[in-house]
Structure 1
Amino acid sequence: MAMTRIRVGLLPSTQFIAGTRPMPKVKDPETGVVATDRDGESLYTLTVFLMEEGRAEQMKLTVPESGVPDGLQPGMPVQVAELFATPWARIFNGQLSEGVAYRAAKLELVGEAK
């Protein structure tokens, strides 16, 4: 069954700040195998803070390796390109858990405003 991918529309005023360093997304904790996308590119995850109209949301974001900018550090403002949300649900140990997975094509460092 194909997952529903929803393009996330952002306000021009929306800002993102990196909350963590990007880490390889591990597909199998036992083997340490890193998750890849359909093109075979390694995936990374990081926490970002979305700031919009006076509120901040923490979100976990998955980005392909090529979309992770060099020198990205926590606290740096970033621009998120092609943000998609994929709702998910699964039964684990008889309990339903559900959430939204966020995926971006790439992140770009936001230059210092002069």
Structure 2
Amino acid sequence: MAMTRIRVGLLPSTQLIAGTPPMPKMKDPEAGVVAVDRDTQETLYTLTVFLMEEGRAEQMKITLPESGLPKGLQPGTPVQVTDLFATPWARIFNGQLSEGVAYRAAKLELAGAAK
């Protein structure tokens, strides 16, 4: 079954700040298997960003390919995101329903970096 991917539109005034260093995304943590992009086989990374918009802040975990990570990315750095998509998910694990939204982006750039 194909997952629904929803493009996330951000307001021009929206600010994003990196909250954590990027970490390799684990497909199977117990076996130490790192997740890779289905199409490119590129290693995937996750990091937390804080999205600030109209007086509220949200914490989001975003998955990106290694090539989408800017050099010098540090927690607390303002960033801009390219091609952000949200994928709602749900699964039953040990009889309990868990659900959420997975965020995936093509790349992050340091905010204010020359285009």
Question: Which TM-score band (shorter chain)?
Answer: over 0.9
Q: Which runs of 5+ in 1 are unaligned?
A: none
The offset of 1:111, in angstroms, is: 2.4
CA distance in structure 1 between the partners assigned to 2:28 and 2:22 by the alignment = 18
TM-score normalised by length of structure 1: 0.96
CA distance in structure 2 between the partners assigned to 1:54 and 1:30 by the alignment = 40
Tell me the C-alpha RMSD between the 2 structures: 0.9
Mapping of residues 34-113 of structure 1, within 5 Å: 34-38=34-38, 39-111=40-112
TM-score normalised by length of structure 2: 0.95
The offset of 1:30, in angstroms, is: 1.5
Q: How many residues align?
A: 112
CA distance in structure 2 between the partners assigned to 1:96 and 1:57 by the alignment = 23
Single out whichever of 26-35 and 87-96 deviates more from structure 2: 26-35
Instruction: State the SS of the aligned residue for 1:90.
Output: strand
CA distance in structure 1 between the partners assigned to 2:87 and 2:54 by the alignment = 24
**Deviant stretches of 4+, over 6 Å:** none
Deviations 1:59-95 (A, max 9, x none): 0000100000111000000000000000000000000
The offset of 1:13, in angstroms, is: 0.6
Deviations 1:23-47 (A, max 9, x none): 0001101111110112101000000
> Percent of pairs identical after alignment?
85
